[in-house]
Structure 1
């Protein structure tokens, strides 16, 4: 539960992103679709940025449009500090070596969008600062009904509210890795405490301090015509990553939300799952509701009419009141949407084996119990939730699942697994239900096996293909699966419980072509030329002359500053923008294609074509080599 550990920093502000949505319609992957609908931002570049303080003007100093900054710092003893060297300083992405990218796994699974290559600076370049690179961060909770409707929940919600992605919120969690030379804050005070508390990893002789970073994005405008077009709101928390901590999930206990009452009017709020922790060291209850209470309006405060919310221990001898949980805009902006409640040692002892519940004192918004922890206290949450996997023999991938009971790791148990091929009507699919999705030969092609949990509650899930899964269309490679992990009697597939889900894009088997012709390459490039206008604005991937020019120019030294660079298996290729970007690690924000949906065998085929083309070039003033 590292981001809730002490010391920690709370941040609030603004983000920017411009993903193209032209690839969000399965019908656009049909060869007969020659002119796909532009929809929203057809020329989007999939950039993702955290905007630093002062990037936007706003009269209200608490307005998220003013940019990201540290709103509060909590020291090792749990006290808020008033250190101007920390509180109020900007947080921003550096855009080095280029802006980070945010990319869906597949058209049928747009709820594990992953941020690749985000580098974050806290502080200023010419003052005390830290700079860290974030591990790829998959969306770890997407809620598409996070804003109160202006008409009613049952009146075609999107039209009865704000439209587009303005109704949605997303939760991300990952790790920031800060090289020792990039942490220049003074070793005293809260930043010194944070540095000493962090897990340290040594890579190539350089120490890196590891911070957990969890943040919520909402209030996003993806419809042109607004001053906030492509911008949205961010709130989050950073804390020390500790040994044994999960990196993409809180590793905590979870509250399940009350269902929306049938026929509920517009003002009745909706709720989403919320992580919480009982800290026995400080005797505090910490509830993270930042992504769990519907907003009163676009980028607005939590829903009003919530009444007084009280935490209750549901003991076998009856409910025991623990105290009030604060849910308001001030907490959202300054504390990352995390409310804390001081407990007695006796109350901490009760919660060690009793589920937590949150109740309201008003009947105006329906049943008073708003949240409840499962009675058995079990939580089963996955990591490495977005997987791209080749189906050739020997190809494999791994994810993990963290199993706890009332917040304690559960060792020596094996999670249940369920593999679900995804169709348009599969719960959790992100396209209209009339889309066909996976074909018949997807059934049974993906194997998933779980190990027993270790002492820290982690089980490994190993994934591999037992045969060729085929493809959905000639332009939509492979098949998509949801893999669910759970304990007890729960059925996460019925509700598409994202936090217990692993999504897998399993590519079709493709024999590497060592002597491809342009027709073979054109077939691979044509879908990208059709769907990604931002690339076509630079050059047409499906045009042989343009492809050939950028397959040969410039030399790799242009990109590396003269440093040696080799493509594995193709050391003879020493030039070309296309082979350079195509050979980068998938975690690099410059990787091509930006959607990261080209299988390794197809990439190898492209390298063979480029190598042959380069070897056929006659050097100026010389003979064919």
Structure 2
């Protein structure tokens, strides 16, 4: 089961993504060519050109949170949709963030790969009108998928739309006094005490002068999670347009993007997730494409944009293009399926057809992938670290299916992209003299840096296979001013029948630079790291403390030690971008520990920061201090063991 099946709960509202954009341009990482103008908002000249400076939000904090979100409907185990609180107290709840800790953070994998931004430290709560927290949980860190830039009639990110799908862990229910048949069904349907969640985000406001600057629309759905299903996508009936527009989006001729559906044999239903599929008109409302219907094609080779007759398909239901479906039901339409087509469902494609013309002919607007093929990786963004053998490999489970049925014995292949300059994130400013002077980074070099095992994986009886990515033992700085290197890797079936994939459905891996251990770091050792972050995050270096200045960094050694030593899933971890190798992190922690040892711990440290350490349990600051000493054995005052 997943969010797409029954039972499920839908909510909608706003999200805030206060991302910092100085680091959007990789050339800003070059401290030798950094200019103070890169910390300013972009500006437009009278002639119409743009001076990008620090792009559209240089003062961003990185936070991601829900705003004015509420549950709008529930769909019961039997498939009944309810929209009134009088029907079930699960309706009308506030969907909020974690209680008593910082907001989650939205983080790009790398400045050269901003197409898999990940949520870290996001908490999800359901709260009733009395302030009673009915449910609290943690969003398991995972990036968005199915990003496309032309869904709305707006330029760049304002026209973009994407989906986050993951699971909620550490789920805590507090249903005392709450009589909700729906929650009883949801809890009974879950496995491993996890819930499935999907967030679709669009309509992002990039206008710094607008009241809702940094906000957008979010459509959320929560359902039961099943251990056998992938966490980050729906393994089912995959619809991928065969045509690509100028923005590299795969879009049908009438503007429909990629989406997934799933057949629920228990309820004889087809569940279709249209939350990220239908084009948007002005005001980010669903564009009216005229009457359309779901259908089962009788000829498996009928192509997108083919014109067919009534005898060529079996009509299933009208496509619901209403704004109500989006906001009230999370963009999910459930279609009853006649039992007469059960056998054909396993080997015939589903499609969306446009309205018939005067001669009764229908246009195939978009259809299921050719031969019903789908192959996707559950984990698709990686950080590999040659400085730590335990962090220099990663694992992902790959799933293969044909018309939604798992494919056993399917061979997969991988193809690392060739050397590429990052033109997408390095625009030319107007006037040209304001364009950053740093050279453009080249990705995917040196080649053969990442190894896969098995090299030619084959799916098991359940249509899945686990694959390990191994980083190299050595990595220099091929991008010069950015740590390590970015590799983008395509994957698909190894045979002659590949599955059509969404534009950014690739693996992306960052391999950190390997550096020599530094048992007793000096200011000169850590200055380049801190200077780079001070440049990239003016909200911190200008609004909090300039940690690129030794006197300020040393005076706040305890704070910096505290945030650099946090777990990657902690919302307070520094750096926000999670782009610091273990060797550099250890070096920073050691340096600030040396300063703490020479200065002593601030008397009010526990009161100031102990409560901002949610991932360390009740130990707070003292526990953080002990853990740092345990993981950094070469700190002054600690004896060296035989393995150090």
TM tier relative to shorter chain: 0.7 to 0.9
Cα displacement (A) at 1:352: 1.3
- What whole-Å deviation, never above 9, does each CA across 1:304-345 have from its counterpart, x for those lacking one? 233333323344594333332222211111121112221111
Q: Distance in 2 between matches of 1:540 and 1:28?
A: 17
Does residue 462 of structure 2 align to residue 456 of structure 1? Answer: yes
**2:111 partner SS:** coil
Q: Distance in 2 between matches of 1:113 and 1:337?
A: 22
- What whole-Å deviation, never above 9, does each CA across 1:195-220 have from its counterpart, x for those lacking one? 111113xxxxxxxx311001210111
Cα displacement (A) at 1:392: 4.0
Cα displacement (A) at 1:38: 2.4
Q: Distance in 1 between matches of 2:473 and 2:345?
A: 48
Cα displacement (A) at 1:272: 1.4
Cα displacement (A) at 1:432: 5.3
1:423–1:436 Cα contact (<8 Å) kept: no
1:258–1:271 Cα contact (<8 Å) kept: no
2:288–2:321 Cα contact (<8 Å) kept: no
Does residue 261 of structure 2 align to residue 276 of structure 1? Answer: yes
Which piece of structure 1 moves more, 248-257 or 314-323?
Answer: 314-323
Cα displacement (A) at 1:436: 4.0
Cα displacement (A) at 1:589: 0.6
Cα displacement (A) at 1:126: 3.5
In structure 2, the partner of 1:173 is: 165
Does residue 199 of structure 2 align to residue 245 of structure 1? Answer: no
In structure 1, the partner of 2:373 is: 378
- What whole-Å deviation, never above 9, does each CA across 1:3-26 have from its counterpart, x for those lacking one? 112111111111111101111112
In structure 2, the partner of 1:563 is: none
2:168–2:196 Cα contact (<8 Å) kept: yes
2:380–2:508 Cα contact (<8 Å) kept: yes
In structure 2, the partner of 1:590 is: 572
- What whole-Å deviation, never above 9, does each CA across 1:402-455 have from its counterpart, x for those lacking one? 2111112223333211222563368xx655599743367421112223443234
Cα displacement (A) at 1:295: 0.4
Q: Distance in 1 between matches of 2:282 and 2:319?
A: 22
Q: Distance in 1 between matches of 2:23 and 2:165?
A: 25
Distance 1:373 1:323, change over 3 A: same
Identify which of 163, 177, 180 aligns with 2:155.
163
In structure 1, the partner of 2:42 is: none
Distance 1:608 1:143, change over 3 A: same
- What whole-Å deviation, never above 9, does each CA across 1:319-378 have from its counterpart, x for those lacking one? 3333322222111111211122211112232111111111101679x9922211123211
For structure 2, the residue ranges without an aligned partner over 5 or more in a row are 39-52, 301-310, 429-437, 603-635, 638-644
In structure 1, the partner of 2:383 is: 388
In structure 1, the partner of 2:14 is: 14
Identify which of 527, 542, 548 aligns with 1:542.
548
Task: Kindly report which structure 2 residues correspond to 1:403-442, keeping only aligned pairs within 5 A, or say none.
Answer: 403-420=400-417, 423-424=420-421, 436-438=440-442, 441-442=445-446
- What whole-Å deviation, never above 9, does each CA across 1:208-262 have from its counterpart, x for those lacking one? x311001210111022121221111011211100130111111222011252689
Does residue 330 of structure 2 align to residue 325 of structure 1? Answer: no
Distance 1:128 1:439, change over 3 A: closer
Identify which of 476, 479, 500 aligns with 2:482.
476
In structure 1, the partner of 2:282 is: 297
**1:48 partner SS:** strand
Q: Distance in 2 between matches of 1:417 and 1:182?
A: 46
In structure 2, the partner of 1:447 is: 451
**2:334 partner SS:** strand
Identify which of 504, 509, 512 aligns with 1:504.
509
**2:575 partner SS:** coil
Q: Distance in 1 between matches of 2:487 and 2:453?
A: 14
In structure 2, the partner of 1:335 is: 329
Does residue 491 of structure 2 align to residue 485 of structure 1? Answer: yes
Distance 1:478 1:298, change over 3 A: farther
- What whole-Å deviation, never above 9, does each CA across 1:168-198 have from its counterpart, x for those lacking one? 1111001112444545574651111111111
Does residue 131 of structure 2 align to residue 107 of structure 1? Answer: no
* TM-score, length-scaled by structure 2: 0.80
Q: Distance in 2 between matches of 1:49 and 1:594?
A: 15
In structure 2, the partner of 1:194 is: 186
Identify which of 94, 98, 123 aligns with 2:127.
123
2:479–2:485 Cα contact (<8 Å) kept: no
- What whole-Å deviation, never above 9, does each CA across 1:263-322 have from its counterpart, x for those lacking one? xxx99742211101122221111211111121012422x222333333233445943333
**1:442 partner SS:** coil
- What whole-Å deviation, never above 9, does each CA across 1:549-600 have from its counterpart, x for those lacking one? 221xxxxxxxxxxxxxxxxxxxxxxxx1212211111011111111111111
- What's the Cα RMSD here? 3.0
Distance 1:71 1:185, change over 3 A: farther
In structure 1, the partner of 2:397 is: 400
Task: Kindly report which structure 2 residues correspond to 1:501-580, keeping only aligned pairs within 5 A, or say none.
Answer: 501-536=506-541, 537-551=543-557, 576-580=558-562
Does residue 128 of structure 2 align to residue 146 of structure 1? Answer: no
* TM-score, length-scaled by structure 1: 0.82
In structure 2, the partner of 1:3 is: 3
In structure 2, the partner of 1:573 is: none
Q: Distance in 2 between matches of 1:422 and 1:346?
A: 52
Q: Distance in 2 between matches of 1:261 and 1:118?
A: 34
Task: Kindly report which structure 2 residues correspond to 1:51-90, keeping only aligned pairs within 5 A, or say none.
Answer: 51=67, 67-81=68-82, 82=84, 83-90=87-94
2:419–2:443 Cα contact (<8 Å) kept: no
In structure 2, the partner of 1:23 is: 23
In structure 2, the partner of 1:603 is: 585
Which piece of structure 1 moves more, 288-297 or 610-619?
Answer: 610-619
Identify which of 92, 98, 108 aligns with 1:94.
98
Distance 1:619 1:484, change over 3 A: closer
Q: Distance in 2 between matches of 1:411 and 1:267?
A: 31
Q: Distance in 2 between matches of 1:466 and 1:431?
A: 28
Equivalenced residue count is 554
2:426–2:440 Cα contact (<8 Å) kept: no
Q: Distance in 2 between matches of 1:478 and 1:586?
A: 18
Distance 1:184 1:531, change over 3 A: farther
1:144–1:167 Cα contact (<8 Å) kept: yes
Distance 1:453 1:25, change over 3 A: same
